[in-house]
Structure 1
Amino acid sequence: CVHCFKKCNGRRALHNHVRYCNDNPDKEAIAKKRKKNNDRGAHCGACGQDFNKKN
């Protein structure tokens, strides 16, 4: 990790750890952005419309 001294076994594990690392100064901004994207749902690149998430 670039913020702490944890070693990760793979790229995916490293990417996920950096997102939630306690030493990451952008942790709150990342969490807000991910929540906003999850609340919005899917986005169509062709028509530019946002769709609600479905269960």
Structure 2
Amino acid sequence: MKKSGFEYYKRKREVAPLEEAFKDLLRVYRLERKFEEKQLTQAWQEIVGSTVASRTSASM
């Protein structure tokens, strides 16, 4: 039987860096792609510049 994400973290005893724990959380709940899309959307103007950003969108 597969453990839910909550049970996985509840039973894990060792200490992990926050970044590693966050990546595990995204993986367990299958949210990696959604998180990456959100990061891209938020950084769109910085990535493409203000001129291009004003005429485009980063929506997926």
Q: Where is the helix percentage greater, Structure 1 or Structure 2? A: 2
TM-score, normalised relative to structure 2: 0.39
TM-score (norm 1): 0.42
